[in-house]
Amino acid sequence: MTYLKISILSLLLLSVQVSVVFGQSNTVINVDEAVTSSERYHNKKLCIKGSVSSKAAVFGYGGFFLAGENKRLLVVTGDNPPPENTMDIFCGIFKQAATVSSWSFNLLIHNKG
């Protein structure tokens, strides 16, 4: 019976470790995929690849639009935005359809590092 309890506990610990590893995945997806599947990615850590299309100020923080082939999302960061028309990867917490000044955008709250 003790062996069974230890085995079950080991399986539970393994499942927690696996979920932590997958929850912190740094798989890179493109802007179009993130925006199209925004409900799936809401409140998840994502690394998104796209082209910096224009600067934006959001709630007093620096930001910019990141463009894909057909979609755009708003990246909020405390830093100065990168130069326009540069392709890069940005990681952060993805938010589905946040409303900013009566406009609705998918957001990526960018974290440094």
Instruction: Summarize pLDDT for 62-104 with one digit per residue, the tens.
Output: 788 899 999 988 888 877 778 899 999 989 898 887 665 666 6
Range of the domain at 77: 26-110
Q: Nearest CA to 89 among 45, 32, 48?
A: 48
Q: Is residue 49 part of a domain?
A: yes
Q: pTM above the 0.75 mark?
A: no
Our count of domains for the chain comes to: 1
Q: Is the pLDDT of residue 26 over 90?
A: no
Report residue 43 as tokens: 């409140």
Q: Is residue 64 part of a domain?
A: yes
Q: Provide the CATH number for the domain around residue 98.
A: 2.40.50.140
Q: Where are the beta strands (DSSP E) in 9-102?
A: 28-30, 45-58, 61-67, 72-76, 87-100
